[in-house]
């Protein structure tokens, strides 16, 4: 296992309704993981993710969060939010609200400039990050002219450009067509292969099966299952009672008594081997 970058211990978060949105969550995220948090609406995914960079804090005295900083693991309470950006970047569930400049270049320059990154380094990072998300050469375009998918990739780029150790992205593919959704996960996979940690929240089980190295399934503020996609999607009994449907490839091969396939490619291989 690589080193821990985010660690939660016994985290409860109660917004005040009396029924906690997070109900005692303990987990560690390790460097280089591609984590997908899944679960139905209201299960606590966003509340969980907002603890990863100190946007929210545990409401119970025993709850503890630590994130890796230049000086080792530390409680986010000790920092202002912007001081944690080198550790954990965050893309909100509705990223259109995150875009507010007239050109893609300005949109991407904003974060690094606030962090005090020098202009030459910022310019290099802006063009590299635009290329990473498939928007090479679009520096002077106005974000309002971009397609919905391109705007989503721009919003993601505006966080990736800060080169945080880890990025947390709340529903990067919701509302995108299948090709665009895949493109977005490809961008995140490229970011991860440059040595970063990626955490997404997603309802797209087929893409989760294909791209995530680890799946955390939430139910009513608790972690219901945590493991590789193969391990988690094999627990069909456990997942029953949530609205999580394992990828169709997994359902098909399990029904045929050939459990283990979670992607279509896997399923084709297993079925070919069986006939």
Ligand X SMILES: Nc1ncnc2c1ncn2[C@@H]1O[C@H](COP(=O)(O)OP(=O)(O)OP(=O)(O)O)[C@@H](O)[C@H]1O
Q: Which of residues 35-94 bind Mg ion (CB under 5 A)?
A: 46
Of 26-34, 39-47, 234-242, 249-257, the window that binds ligand X (rule: CB under 6 A) is: 39-47
Whole-number Å distance between alpha carbons of 206 and 37: 14
> What's phi and psi for 30, nearest 5 deg?
-105, 155
Site string for Mg ion, 106-125 (x = CB under 5 A): --------------------
Between 5 and 49, whose beta carbon lies closer to ligand X? 49
Closest distance to Mg ion from the beta carbon of 47 (Å): 8
Adjacent-strand bridge partners of 225: 217
Between 46 and 129, whose beta carbon lies closer to Mg ion? 46
Which H helix or E strand runs over 75? none
By the rule CB under 6 A, 44 interacts with ligand X: yes
Nearest to 185 by CA among 197, 198, 196: 198
Of 41-49, 79-87, 138-146, 231-239, the window that binds ligand X (rule: CB under 6 A) is: 41-49
By the rule CB under 6 A, 95 interacts with ligand X: no
Tokens 């960079």 belong to which residue? Answer: 53
Dihedral sign, Cα of residue 155, residue 188, residue 58, residue 93: positive
Between 167 and 249, whose beta carbon lies closer to ligand X? 167
What string of DSSP letters covers 13-48?
A: E--SSSS-SEEEEEEEEETT-EEEEE--TTSSHHHH
35: left (phi over 0), alpha (psi -120 to 50) or beta: beta
Between 2 and 41, whose beta carbon lies closer to ligand X? 41
Between 43 and 253, whose beta carbon lies closer to ligand X? 43
Whole-number Å distance between alpha carbons of 157 and 128: 10
Of 45-53, 95-103, 180-188, 263-271, the window that binds ligand X (rule: CB under 6 A) is: 45-53
Closest distance to Mg ion from the beta carbon of 37 (Å): 9
Q: Is 72 exposed, middle or buried (0-12, 13-18, 19+ CB in 10 A)?
A: exposed
By the rule CB under 6 A, 2 interacts with ligand X: no
Between 8 and 130, whose beta carbon lies closer to ligand X? 8
Closest distance to ligand X from the beta carbon of 40 (Å): 7
Chain residues binding Mg ion by CB under 5 A are 46
Chain residues binding ligand X by CB under 6 A are 15, 21, 39, 41-47
């Amino acid at each position: 296992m690589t080193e821990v970058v985010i660690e939660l211990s016994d985290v409860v978060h109660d917004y005040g309704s009396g029924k906690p949105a997070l109900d005692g969550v303990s987990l560690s995220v390790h460097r280089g993981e591609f984590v997908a948090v899944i679960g139905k609406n209201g299960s606590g995914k966003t509340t969980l993710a907002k603890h990863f960079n100190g946007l929210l804090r545990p409401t119970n005295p025993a709850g503890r969060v630590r994130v890796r900083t230049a000086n080792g693991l530390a409680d986010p309470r000790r920092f202002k939010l912007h001081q944690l950006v080198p550790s954990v970047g965050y893309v909100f569930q509705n990223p259109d609200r995150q875009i507010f400049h007239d050109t893609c270049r300005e949109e991407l320059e904003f974060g690094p400039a606030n962090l005090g990154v020098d202009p030459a380094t910022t310019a290099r990072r802006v063009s590299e990050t635009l290329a990473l998300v498939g928007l090479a050469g679009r520096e002077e375009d106005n974000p309002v002219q971009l397609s919905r998918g391109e705007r989503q990739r721009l919003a993601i780029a505006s966080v990736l450009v800060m080169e945080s150790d880890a990025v947390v992205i709340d529903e990067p593919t919701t509302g995108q067509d299948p090709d665009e959704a895949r493109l977005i996960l490809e961008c995140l996979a490229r970011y991860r292969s440059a040595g970063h940690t990626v955490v997404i929240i997603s309802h797209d089980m087929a893409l989760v099966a294909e791209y995530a190295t680890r799946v955390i399934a939430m139910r009513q503020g608790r972690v219901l299952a945590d493991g590789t996609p193969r391990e988690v999607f094999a627990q069909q009994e456990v997942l029953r009672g949530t609205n999580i449907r394992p990828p169709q490839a997994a359902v098909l091969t399990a029904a045929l008594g050939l459990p283990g396939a979670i992607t279509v490619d896997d399923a084709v291989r297993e079925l070919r081997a069986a006939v």
